Chain A
């Protein structure tokens, strides 16, 4: 394999090698086999879980087809979000503009489904042909009395992160439009948890046990009416550094609602999240309940975790996540299982994330921004890891190398958040790393292949 390109050098770093210096938030190199996605992807991810809204994708069929129900963001009620609606632009529309078709689609869909609100996503091509999506949305809003929100998510306008921003902008049109008179002073919004495999439900339950009202869970099992009332909550609890921080910031400015960052992954981070919330409310009862909850939950999962640890300790792992925030929790969780992290990569980490990661990781750990497949393969082999944590596209790569795998991305099917989630994580890691199949592969001849 050829050497890592000169230009990529500053996006890869080995902890302990000289003073800290690292660049990120760069556009991917043209021609790279990059794992990154687009603005539309980011918007779709954040807004997808709003289950009683109608999500219409304005563009050619592909953008809609590829995002049709691929995320396991569960809903406890309506399932409207799981369908795939698209204006399916054809050549004629590209030439003459797609506004009329969009208008017609919206009218037909609204009449048929009577959703609580509508999100219209613009894809690349809409940006190029210059449809005035805003105007169409406004008109349909006027005619139907429904909130129809245009999400400016043209793919080429940036990365997934910019999509988060566009989604937050769309959400802020809903926030502040509902009645908040009955909301408790001990109340919060859960932001940035996607209810994969029911994770939001578990977190919600923790807060309930602490006596705190959850007003809205926007990005997991979300509802339009709840989001309208979100400004009535006293606190925004934001998980995942990238996706929802814009909304939290805006709500702070507009409504004076403070926000805190948390992670729900791993025993430490989960406990800290609950303590931070209790501390915020400065309520002795809530803190006491949080302490009891943490003690009970840890007592419940710890014996099994320790048993798993005896099997897997000493193994090595590589991590490749979307945002960098999750990486911290993962490094800590693996540490708890006696597994050392050999490298950490992310698609969209911020300078702060990487700086903190550097501090957090063991010496020698490789830290990489916008990692591509070849780099992942190379690091995996150099460091001889036993486990790769990544997403859809990384799974078969790990398997080809004869390495265990754990999906910590949106394709995971088991909940990994919360105390119970840590147990599930350990069980999954154990099942994969300890599988007898790896022993059946001849790994003597490992090399990078013919590239």
Chain B
């Protein structure tokens, strides 16, 4: 078998990463940048990184992903990438005509120390940037943090470059975190139902889940507009969903434009969605509409109908910190036991957030973040004591196969299924979808394992 080399004996590792549970910063920055209307992400480094990031995003979202590259050569590695980037900016505006170029660095350009703001300033002096067009940037060295960090840095960059202070409006900013386009759509729908005016950034809905029209739009219709990004500096407040991905931008808005922020977990599952809706209600001073209350009621109804099947089921989870925290809380509410939780994204706060989500109900839980927190470690834990369900990205399919444990594909990237980016997992509706999927997996498994005499029609 594929992973038969994995043994249950935990070997102390000092350096090695095997089967990482994260990837590098630039891909997160690229994803975030795609959430700006008419923005072309630009990778400042060699061609390879950009090609890999585009391929991975393409495989996950099944959509064309456009991004340009500085195409470093040996010369750029020695003398710096300034001339490449200047030429790139000039070429991009004349060929692809974006409204914004969002530059992110790569390991290479970070290490040789290119000063991006200075290069952008030079490009402006040279009149390479047409009037009314913009170039923004984020530093995304991959040897720091993970893809989530890159996302966070680029969203912060949006604030740094665009947000303008001014007379306060009644609008509320929402920074959705790294979620699917469908999740961003769902957040907008909830706010629309509540009658709240929001600025959502970034917003990849209608960029990476475009309707098929028989046309190829180099810049699809979705994405947060520049006007909105500017106006974000005048909003009444900001809701930052998910600490790892969204707090940096929210803080920046606060210090730059004095827009107060509230940080909360991603609205995945009942409690977190409640908190989200309640906060919206409070800060926008609106009533929660019956339609939304009914959605909650239907979710509750599903949870009660299903609870008998979930009790005590052991779950292993891996992926991005924000998702893991909310999912853990939801699973605990379902009386399931999230026993192993792993993220490759480093961040000490993660442990206390998970602890809070576990609410002392799963004392046997093992949680790890940062270096050596990889799929290999997770697999070893599972070998020591099995679980009933795996929840995480595609890379879990090896463990799923080897240990014969059902896998709920969730998170980034999902490379072997289609459709995940069309259905939300946030909000009450998203939680209902998660429930349906989880129970479906457990029961399919039960059917498959049942001996003839206990195979039942009604379950």
Contact = CB atoms under 8 A, between A and B. Distances in A.
Contact of B214 (A29, A82, A90, A401): A401
A296 to B, nearest CB: 36
Interface stretch (B136-144, B152-160, B231-239, B295-303): B136-144
A160 B253 CA distance: 42
B250 to A, nearest CB: 25
A404 to B, nearest CB: 13
A429 interface: no
Contacts of A260: none
B212 A399 contact: yes
Contacts of B72: 124, 155-156
A68 B2 CA distance: 13
B59 A392 contact: yes
A182 interface: no
Contact of B56 (A66, A377, A441): A66
Interface in B55-88: 55-56, 58-59, 62-74, 76-77, 84-85, 87-88
Contacts of B73: 27, 156-158
Query: Of A65, A68, A449, which is in contact with the most chain B CB atoms at under 10 Å from its CB?
Result: A65
A41 B218 contact: no
Contacts of B96: 2, 33, 374, 451
B202 interface: no
Interface string A26-37: 011111111111
Contact of B46 (A87, A155, A399): A155
Query: Of B17, B50, B88, which is in contact with the most chain A CB atoms at under 10 Å from its CB?
Result: B17
Given A29-B71, A38-B51, A396 B63 contact: yes
Contacts of B165: none
Interface stretch (A105-113, A164-172, A173-181): A105-113
Contacts of A88: 16-17, 20, 371
Contacts of A23: none
Interface string A120-133: 00011101110000
B20 A451 contact: no
A87 B15 contact: yes
Interface residues on B, range: 35 or more
A202 interface: no
Interface stretch (A56-64, A141-149, A305-313): A56-64
Contacts of B14: 104, 108
Query: Of B1, B46, B107, B216, which is in contact with the most chain A CB atoms at under 10 Å from its CB?
Result: B216
A30 B87 contact: yes
B77 A128 contact: yes
Contacts of B88: 30-31
A433 B13 CA distance: 52
B379 to A, nearest CB: 11
B389 interface: no
Query: Of A33, A125, A449, which is in contact with the most chain B CB atoms at under 10 Å from its CB?
Result: A33
A159 interface: yes
A448 interface: yes
B371 A125 contact: no
A428 interface: no
A62 B23 contact: yes
Contact of A448 (B2, B38, B216): B216
B215 interface: yes
Interface in A5-57: 5, 27-41
A115 to B, nearest CB: 10
A85 B90 contact: no
Contacts of B70: 30-31
A65 B344 CA distance: 12
A38 B47 contact: yes
Given A31-B95, A82-B2, A83-B18, A393 B142 contact: no
Interface residues of A, number: 83
Interface string A59-90: 11111111110100000000110111111111
B217 interface: yes
B19 interface: yes
A90 B17 CA distance: 12
A392 B19 contact: no
B97 interface: yes
A85 B16 contact: yes
A120 to B, nearest CB: 13
A35 B64 CA distance: 12
Contact of B15 (A1, A30, A101, A128): A101
A447 B215 contact: yes
Nearest to B88: A31
B271 to A, nearest CB: 32
Nearest to A84: B19
Contacts of B142: 60-62
Nearest to A127: B77
B71 A443 contact: no
Contact of A445 (B20, B146, B215): B215
B144 A36 contact: no
A397 B395 CA distance: 26
B46 A38 contact: yes
B51 A400 contact: no
Contacts of B219: 449-451
A336 interface: no
A225 interface: no
A373 B5 contact: no
A393 B71 contact: no
A54 to B, nearest CB: 11
A382 interface: no
A51 to B, nearest CB: 11
Contacts of B104: none
Given A2-B94, A125-B108, A62 B71 contact: no
A446 interface: yes
Contact of B16 (A93, A104, A441): A104
B342 interface: no
B130 interface: no
Contacts of A31: 42, 68-71, 87-92, 95
A418 interface: no
Contacts of B20: 61, 64-65, 68, 84, 86, 88
A34 B71 contact: yes
Interface in B1-37: 1-3, 5, 11, 13-20, 22-27
Contacts of A62: 23-27, 49, 52, 107, 142
Given A104-B14, A104-B15, A441 B214 contact: yes
A91 interface: yes
A90 B144 contact: yes
Contact of A155 (B3, B54, B65, B108): B108
B286 to A, nearest CB: 36
Contacts of B87: 29-31
B91 A128 contact: no
B338 to A, nearest CB: 24
A105 B214 CA distance: 50
A232 interface: no
25 contacts: A1-B218, A5-B91, A27-B73, A29-B87, A30-B85, A33-B40, A34-B71, A38-B48, A41-B48, A60-B143, A61-B146, A66-B53, A85-B18, A88-B17, A90-B143, A113-B5, A124-B45, A124-B49, A129-B111, A156-B45, A377-B216, A395-B62, A397-B64, A397-B216, A446-B215
Interface of B: 1-3, 5, 11, 13-20, 22-27, 38, 40, 42, 45-56, 58-59, 62-74, 76-77, 84-85, 87-92, 94-97, 106-108, 111-112, 141-144, 146, 210, 212-219, 344, 371, 395, 415
Given A85-B18, A445-B215, A450-B38, 12 more contacts: A29-B87, A37-B47, A38-B51, A64-B20, A101-B15, A108-B16, A124-B108, A125-B108, A157-B74, A158-B74, A395-B62, A451-B219
Q: Which 7 A-B pairs have the closest CB atoms?
A: A38-B48, A62-B24, A451-B218, A31-B88, A31-B91, A66-B52, A88-B17
Interface of A: 1-2, 5, 27-41, 59-68, 70, 79-80, 82-91, 93-94, 101, 104-105, 108-109, 112-113, 123-125, 127-129, 155-159, 373-374, 377, 392-393, 395-397, 399-402, 441-443, 445-451
